[in-house]
Amino acid sequence: MFINTASHYIPEEIIPNSYFLDKNGMDDESIIRKSGIKNRRRAAANENTNTLAVSAVEAGITNLPYDITEVDLIVGATYTPYDTVGTLAHVVQQKYEIDKAIVFSISSACSSFLNAVEIVEGYFALGKATKAIIVNAEHNWAYNNEDDPIAAHLWGDGASAIFISKERISENDHEILDISTEGHAHIGRGPGGVCLKPTDGGIIMPDGRDVFYNAITYMSEKTDSVLKRNNFGVENLDYLIPHQANIRIINKVAETLSFPIEKVVINMVELGNTGAASSAIGYSQIFHSMKKDELAVITVFGGGYSSGAMLVKA
């Protein structure tokens, strides 16, 4: 499989740490110490998960080496849907009048992006599709309980779009060398580690410590595994793009892998945790600057729990 281009969309409104002092008593120093986050983005009143998704796709069209109507598979990925019937994927199909495409949306929390890629791999292998869009969007602020001192300051809004083809389309394509995902619902707090209950507290994190240690364990293990399966070592890796949940998690993953932190893609300091879109946004941010034959690993950990890693070559 080949990634033809990647794009993203970030809302304009910036919410600084100072916003939370009157809301839940969390000050700038405490938030930075616990999470590393300084700012996050919030969608405007006229934006939602679906509009964020369309904006991300729109940002990628100018670099797409074929007409978007050639797409025959659209997979949406989110845990913060605007509408669970007419999903973000269907809205993209409607916007661009993509006739006869297979269209659906999935959720596996912050692992959703890589699960979506693996699903696309299956459709390609079965000969049911040849060109796909994976659109990830999170409108975390639609479900955020601003009074929660544990997790309210973590969340940001954002979206990404990844365009994938079964065969190489242009010399600028990135090749997906390997991808694997795994569920871990039987470990630790599992489905109870992170929750989103719209009528009962919104997004909450009952046991951040459990999430913290399992995220470090599995993002490190999955990265090491995908490299070894393809006869690479950490020393061959040019970029590590982890899920953007917490700077302490990211630092510890880099330390565990003995990977230079300056080669880790980090956007959460200014964007907050943008959920399933976060690692795809990070990939989009470096897509056009990756040089030929450079390697990147995208590694994720999602509430539930779940994990995954994808090895990409420019």
Give the Cα separation of 197 and 188 in Å (integer): 20
Confidence band, pLDDT 50/70/90 cuts, at residue 195: confident
pLDDT tens digits, residue range 57-109? 999 999 999 999 999 999 999 999 999 899 999 999 999 999 999 999 999 99
B/e letters for 260-295, b = 16+ CB within 10 Å, e = fewer, are eeeebbbbbbebbbbbbbbbbbbbbbbbeebeeebb
Give the pLDDT score at 185.
87
Lowest pLDDT segment from 160-164, 186-190, 238-242: 186-190
pLDDT (mean) for 176-192: 90
CB atoms within 10 A of CB 27: 12
Confidence band, pLDDT 50/70/90 cuts, at residue 162: very high
Mean per-residue pLDDT of the chain: 95
Give the pLDDT score at 189.
82
Give the pLDDT score at 101.
98
H helices of the chain, in order, are 21-24, 28-35, 49-60, 88-96, 112-125, 208-229, 247-257, 268-271, 278-287
Give the pLDDT score at 209.
83
Amino acid at 284: S
User: 278 or 304: whose pLDDT is higher?
Assistant: 278
Is-contact 112 80, C-beta < 8 A?
no
Domains detected in the chain: 2-165 (3.40.47.10), 174-313 (3.40.47.10)
Confidence band, pLDDT 50/70/90 cuts, at residue 251: very high
Confidence band, pLDDT 50/70/90 cuts, at residue 26: confident
Give the Cα separation of 157 and 180 in Å (integer): 26
Answer yes or no: is pLDDT of 23 > 80. yes
Is-contact 57 96, C-beta < 8 A?
yes
Q: What is the pTM of this model?
A: 0.95
B/e letters for 131-165, b = 16+ CB within 10 Å, e = fewer, are bbbbbbbbbbbbbbbeebeebbbbbbbbbbbbbbb
